[in-house]
Structure 1
């Protein structure tokens, strides 16, 4: 699923326009990006956690650890 498909799915699930869903998507991704850039972990219950990892030998990286609900849905 790409971004456009995800925005369409959000619009359908939330009963909003695609434009409204795009604004929601942008707000969510922007908020996650800003928080991780400030070295804050972002945890969405059931989905997972985004966080910056500091690696002295390489550049910093962002990791995503899947939450319990997401992991359970894969089986």
Structure 2
């Protein structure tokens, strides 16, 4: 499912226009992004949690040449699914 399909589903289930549903979805995504950039965790009970994680520097390998190279440290986003989401997917 892509974003336009999600907007259409939200609009249909909530009886609002697609434009309003799009604004709501964009606002949610902006707030999640802002929280993660401030190193906050976003928890949606039953669905899951988003958290920022630090990935340390490490040694990797160039797949074409086999040459060793250093991969810089970086921050990434991790998602841990909630109990209800796990149960829904495992059916």
SS at match of 1:12: helix
Question: For the residues of structure 2 that align with 1:15 and 1:53, how far apart are their CA atoms?
Answer: 37
Counterparts of 1:44-63 in structure 2 under 5 Å?
44-57=44-57, 58-63=73-78
Question: For the residues of structure 2 that align with 1:29 and 1:49, how far apart are their CA atoms?
Answer: 14
Deviation, 1:56, is 2.4
What is the TM-score when the length of structure 1 is the normalising length?
Answer: 0.95
Please list the CA deviations of residues 16-59 of structure 1 after superposition, one character each: whole Å capped at 9, or x if unmatched.
00000001000000000000000000000111001100122231
More strand by share: 2
What is the TM-score when the length of structure 2 is the normalising length?
Answer: 0.79
Bigger radius of gyration, 1 or 2? 2
Question: For the residues of structure 1 that align with 2:16 and 2:74, how far apart are their CA atoms?
Answer: 40
CA RMSD for the aligned pairs?
0.7
Q: Provide the aligned length of Structure 1 versus Structure 2.
A: 75
Answer 1 or 2: higher relative contact order, Cα 8 Å, separation at least 6.
2
Q: Which runs of 5+ in 2 are unaligned?
A: 58-72
Provide the residue aligned with 2:60 in structure 1.
Answer: none
Provide the residue aligned with 2:2 in structure 1.
Answer: 2
